[in-house]
Amino acid sequence: MAQQERFVELLTQVAREITRRQSSDVCCGDLTLEQFQTLAAVSGVDLSTIGSLSDRLCVDLSTMSRNVTVLERKGHLQRARSDDDARVVHVRLTPKGKRSLTTLRCDQRDVFQDVYGRLPAADRSQVVKALEALSACLMAAAPPASACCAPMVVSRKRPA
């Protein structure tokens, strides 16, 4: 069990450090990490909708709608009704959004190339292979894990 506990500890540490670096070293100016991820998701597909972005990034529909609204206000995204179905609203990158995404992706690449460069050259392919296996495990549909603690029940008593 010690190895499994070490795995959890290391994975948590790595996830936290990646998020910290993305938030502080990659995303700067007027974009948050979540907004950067939204721009990246929009760029990855020809016709994105709020619903498809919500599914892709595993966030609530209302959260994605707010993210898109903020990015639209900042000039990074634009919404347009579908020609085929007026109920469907597509989300597209604006030229400003494309420029911001290009810059942030370069920053992200630089931040993580530094980490890659500090790995011993002999270990790099092994680390990449391990990350590919880990990514495949994380992306595979798995049944929900049972919680180690029962959910806390909060009862609200009305004042007398």
pTM of the model: 0.68
pLDDT digits (tens, 9 = 90+) for 119-134: 999 999 999 999 999 8
With bands split at pLDDT 50, 70 and 90, how would you rate the model's confidence at 58? confident
Mean pLDDT, range 41-48, rounded to an integer: 85
Residue 91, both tokens: 């989300």
pLDDT value of position 126: 94
| 103, pLDDT greater than 60 | yes
Cβ atoms of 31 and 104 closer than 8 Å: yes
Where are the strands (E) in the chain, listed by range? 48-49, 77-81, 89-93
Interval 53-64 mean pLDDT: 89
